[in-house]
């Protein structure tokens, strides 16, 4: 018969105290133990090589303008909005919205392109250009 101490014990201890054999380890625990050596033998990943493959968006910001909502509502197809960038000045070059330098607009065939004129001090060398 069980006493109060045994009733308050977790079910695993009750089984042991009653003379039942210890339960076999769960299959997941056994497979996790055998998977540990296999995981250790996997080759290490080349993080810089993996990062070079991540797609990014490169943008050239022409400029911006602050205006009231009233002025914005008044814009139509013939409107001209003055931007905060001087004509001929290099434009802000961004990667995923983060400024990384400055560039000029150029024509490449039938498309626009950009000519980098300044890069920030980001360490691109670690990505193995």
Mean local confidence (pLDDT), 57-69: 95
Asked whether the CA dihedral 50, 52, 53, 58 is positive or negative, the reply is positive
pLDDT band of residue 41 (cuts 50, 70, 90) is confident
In this structure, what CATH number is given to the domain that contains residue 117? 2.30.330.10
Residue 62, pLDDT > 80, answer yes
Is 26 in the same domain as 72? no
Is 87 in the same domain as 31? no
Is 69 in the same domain as 16? no
Residue 128, pLDDT > 70, answer no
pLDDT at 47: 83
How far is residue 1's CA from residue 18's CA, in Å, rounded to a whole number?
Answer: 9
Domain tally for the chain?
2
Residue 123, pLDDT > 90, answer no
DSSP assignment string, 15-81 = HHHTTPPPPPPPHHHHHHHHHHHHHHHSPPP-HHHHHHTS---EEEE-------HHHHHT--TT---
Residue 117, pLDDT > 90, answer yes
Is 90 in the same domain as 52? yes
The whole domain housing 110 covers 47-127
């Amino acid at each position: 018969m069980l006493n109060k101490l045994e009733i308050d014990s977790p079910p695993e201890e009750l089984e042991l105290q009653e003379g039942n054999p210890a339960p076999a380890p769960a299959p997941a625990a056994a497979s996790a133990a055998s998977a540990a050596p296999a995981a250790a033998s996997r080759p290490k990943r080349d993080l810089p090589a993996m990062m070079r493959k991540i797609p990014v968006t490169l943008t050239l910001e022409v400029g911006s303008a602050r205006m009231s909502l009233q002025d914005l509502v008044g814009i139509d197809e013939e409107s001209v909005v003055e931007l905060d960038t001087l004509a001929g000045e290099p434009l802000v070059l961004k990667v995923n919205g983060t400024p990384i330098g400055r560039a000029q607009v150029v024509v490449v065939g039938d498309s626009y392109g950009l000519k980098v004129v300044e890069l920030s001090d980001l360490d691109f060398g670690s990505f193995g250009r």
